[in-house]
Amino acid sequence: MLRLAANDVMRICWQEFFDVEKFPDIKFKSTSIRRGKDRDSLELDGDLTIKDKTVPIALSVNEMDRSRSPNGEEFVYYSATAELDRCAFGINYGRGIIGRRLHVTINVQACDSSRVRRSK
């Protein structure tokens, strides 16, 4: 019987999916931004590069929350979603077993770095 820890399974899948030793970086370069469906959303177009294959994608971005730290810095929280065709990036592992479409969610916490207090 073969037993694998969950992190071993994830490492194997990550390597098979993305060939991380040969292609260690995933890159996104925005090309345009436009208003979304409501006042707290926007659409971010850009080029996503995975495994040296670049595909234009659209991210739907929503402002989720705002908060202020005890030091007064304002933070904004965003969530971006997209649906990708993994085969367009040469990710063919698990074909016929794993679906072709990938649903991706990116969560971001942002602040204005010029307004962040630095510890001395």
Q: What is the pLDDT of residues 58-81, one digit of tens each?
A: 999 999 999 998 888 899 999 999
Amino acid at position 60, single letter: S
Q: What is the pLDDT of residues 35-62, one digit of tens each?
A: 988 888 999 999 999 999 999 999 999 9
- Read off the pTM: 0.74
Contact present, 45 and 30 (Cβ < 8 Å)? yes
Higher pLDDT, 15 or 82: 82
How far is it, in rounded angstroms, from Cα 72 to Cα 62?
23
How far is it, in rounded angstroms, from Cα 101 to Cα 14?
16
Phi, psi of 25 (to 5 degrees): -115, 145
CATH of 6-115, one of 2.40.128.110, 3.30.70.890, 2.60.120.260, 1.10.1040.10: 2.40.128.110
In the chain, % of residues over pLDDT 90: 40
Residue 87 is classified by DSSP as: G
Q: Among the residues of the chain, which ranges form H helices?
A: 6-18
